[in-house]
Amino acid sequence: MLTLASKLKKEDGGKTGRASGASDSTHRISIRDRLLTKVSVSPLFLLFAGTCKASFPDENKLHHFQLAVSPDEGYYQSGRFQFEIDVPEAYNMVPPKVRCLTRIWHPNITENGEICLSLLREHSIDGTGWAPTRTLKDVVWGLNSLFTDLLNFDDPLNIDAAEHHLRDKVRWIKGVRSFIHHIRRRFNQGL
């Protein structure tokens, strides 16, 4: 089975890089962070430069970061939505844990930040769930697309938002635009 540790060990020519006395947990985190730097995190800055920006609350923990998504089209255009992404030790065998930190009126995101996105599920009945071949690039693409082409009113997690859209699309759009205006005002004020 290919894991982050085996991939990094192969890249380093078989050296593990473990300092004497380092715990297994520290070693695993170190391997995970080193590989994330080489394979996943660095390219994210270039790939989604226009709509997504990653930031690291603790630059020593690259497995825990935040992603700001600013859609450039669709209902949520000009909004700024903050996500927290935590890459578990078992990554690439399990998906990252993702939560939306920005309160939002969205059919696929609850007001508590839970997200309905197939590729974040370990076991998905539609066959589009997590697979070891997926990367953080796929996760970022999926989060970005939740505001455009993956916006799904037919299989919502936030049923109230989806039903509101079905009942009165015009008022729903006005509510989303008003909400985005409120978020941008708070962001510009530094709150």
Q: Which residues are catalytic?
A: 116
DSSP code string of 58-120: STT-TTEEEEEE--SSSTTTT--EEEEEE--TTTTTSPPEEEE-S---BTTB-TT--B--GGG
Please name which of 93, 128, 133, 99 lies closest in space to residue 113, comparing C-alpha atoms: 99
- Alpha-carbon Rg for the chain, nearest whole angstrom, is 19
| Cα→Cα distances 74→42, 70, 144, 146, Å | 28, 11, 11, 10
**Amino acid in the structure at residue 108:** N
Sheet holding 52-55, edge to edge: 52-55, 64-69, 81-86, 97-100
How far is residue 177 from each of residues 69, 76, 110, 154, 167, measured CA to CA in Å?
Answer: 16, 7, 18, 21, 17
